[in-house]
């Protein structure tokens, strides 16, 4: 089983939550705190000025994005990905 390289989560990456009450929700990584934690926002429940701190191991990389770190852009990007996921 291929190991997902966890060092790839950096600012701007889209990630999916694997653990917690928000399991299955998409986020954008807006800052790296340390080797274990990152700050994530979804522009909706978690706006950019009140991001969620999450463990890297509880997130899985989805794709790299070039999104601006403001609520509207992040929300739009996540909605777009969700629509794509439904189409698949």
Q: Binding residues for another protein, per CB under 8 A?
A: 1-5, 8, 16, 18, 24, 26, 60-64, 82, 85, 88
Residue 15 sits at φ, ψ, to 5 deg, of -140, 155
User: CB of 20: closest distance to another protein in angstroms?
Assistant: 13
Q: How is residue 37 annotated by DSSP?
A: E
Q: Which is nearer to another protein, 2 or 50 (CB)?
A: 2
Query: To which H or E segment does residue 32 belong?
Result: strand 26-32
Token digits of residue 57: 């191991």
User: CB of 49: closest distance to another protein in angstroms?
Assistant: 27
User: CB of 78: closest distance to another protein in angstroms?
Assistant: 11
């Amino acid at each position: 089983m291929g190991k997902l390289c966890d060092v790839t989560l950096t600012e701007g990456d889209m990630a999916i939550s694997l653990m917690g009450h928000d399991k299955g929700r998409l986020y954008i990584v807006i800052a790296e705190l340390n080797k274990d934690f990152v700050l994530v926002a979804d522009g909706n429940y978690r706006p950019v000025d009140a991001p969620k701190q999450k463990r890297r191991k509880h997130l899985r990389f989805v794709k790299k994005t070039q999104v601006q770190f403001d609520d509207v852009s992040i929300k739009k990007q996540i909605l777009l990905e969700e629509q794509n996921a439904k189409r698949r």
